[in-house]
Structure 1
Amino acid sequence: MQIRQANQSDYPELRNIFLSSRQQYFHWADQDSMTLEDFDKQTADEYIILAEDDGRILGFSSLYLPDDFIHLLFVHPEVSGQGVGKELLSASIEKMNRPARLKCVSENHKALKFYEKNGWKKVVEEEKDGEKYWVMEY
């Protein structure tokens, strides 16, 4: 598996991974409002790294470097649980200063467990637009 910076030619597949992952795992969200274009809106001005194997993109992480903040980390549903997320998380941490931060939706129990298992600590639970999330630090 290789980790590298994403480029524009990767965006079609990154959009698909972002959409399919959210549709499969975000049971609390409105599925009908999710679109491929959400990726571009949510990653504007961010540094994006991806994991690939034999030319196939397996997942990505989107970082807002001025705040040492992991905004998004998504793995293709077909390779979930195979270490891709851990590799992306490690590469993301290497790119940032400490403390690094992220927010995780409180309903996303699988992701919260993943982050805690990889050394992240819950700092405070906040709420925005009726959705609760944990601010976490590394």
Structure 2
Amino acid sequence: MEIRCWQEGDRPFLRTLYLHARRESWTWLNGSDWQLEDFDAATRNERIYVALEDGHRVGFASLVENGNFLHNLFIDPAWQGKGIGSALLEHVQQQFTSTGALKCLAKNQRAIEFYQQHGWTIEATGASPEGEYLLMHYRLP
């Protein structure tokens, strides 16, 4: 597997992956208004890393610049459970200069367990348009 910084040529695929992965993972939400262009807004001014397996784009992660904040981590549903999310997360964690943070939707139990298995802890809760979320932290070893 390869993880690299994104290139503009990745945009069409990542737009599709972002739309499809949210519909597959966030089944409790009505995604009928979601669009391909949502990816652009969700990653604006963020550092994006793309995971490739045998030359195929299979996932991405985006970090808010200067914030040690993981904003997005999505894996193509057809490629989930193969270690790609773990590799991307570990790559992102290596970029942190202090405690890392993320928000995970409280109903996304699979994601919460995934982050906890990688050393993230729940610090607080909050509300968003998509529902309640958990603020999670990752402390550097």
TM-score of the superposed pair, with normalisation by structure 1? 0.96
Secondary structure at 2:103 match in 1 = strand
**Maintained 8 Å contact 1:102/1:136:** yes
Give the superposed CA RMSD.
1.0
User: Aligned with 2:66: secondary structure?
Assistant: helix
* Residues in 2 aligned to 1:118 and 1:98: alpha-carbon distance in whole angstroms: 16
Question: What's the offset of the Cα at 1:130?
Answer: 6.8
Equivalent position of 1:36 in the other structure: 36
DSSP 3-state at the match of 1:32: coil
Percentage of identical aligned residues: 34
Gaps of 5+ in 2: none
* 1:45 matches 2:77: no
Distance 2:64 2:12 in 1: 21
- Aligned equivalents of 1:131 and 1:16: distance in 2? 23
SS at 2:88's partner residue? helix
5+ unaligned residues in a row in structure 1: which ranges?
none
List per-residue Cα deviations over 1:57-94 (Å, max 9, x = no partner). 01000100211100000000001111000000000111
For residues 121 and 78 of structure 1, what CA distance do their matches in structure 2 show? Answer: 28
Where does structure 1 differ by over 6 angstroms across 4 or more consecutive aligned residues? none
User: 2:95: which partner in 1?
Assistant: 95
Determine the structure 1 residue equivalent to 2:27. Answer: 27
CA deviation vs aligned residue, 1:7-63 (integer Å, no higher than 9, x gap): 100111111111110111111222101110000011000000011022100100010
Going from structure 1 to structure 2, the CA distance change for 1:52 and 1:32 (only over 3 Å counts) comes to same
Following the alignment from structure 1 to structure 2, what is the Cα–Cα distance between the partners of residues 22 and 44? 18
Alignment coverage as a number of residue pairs: 138
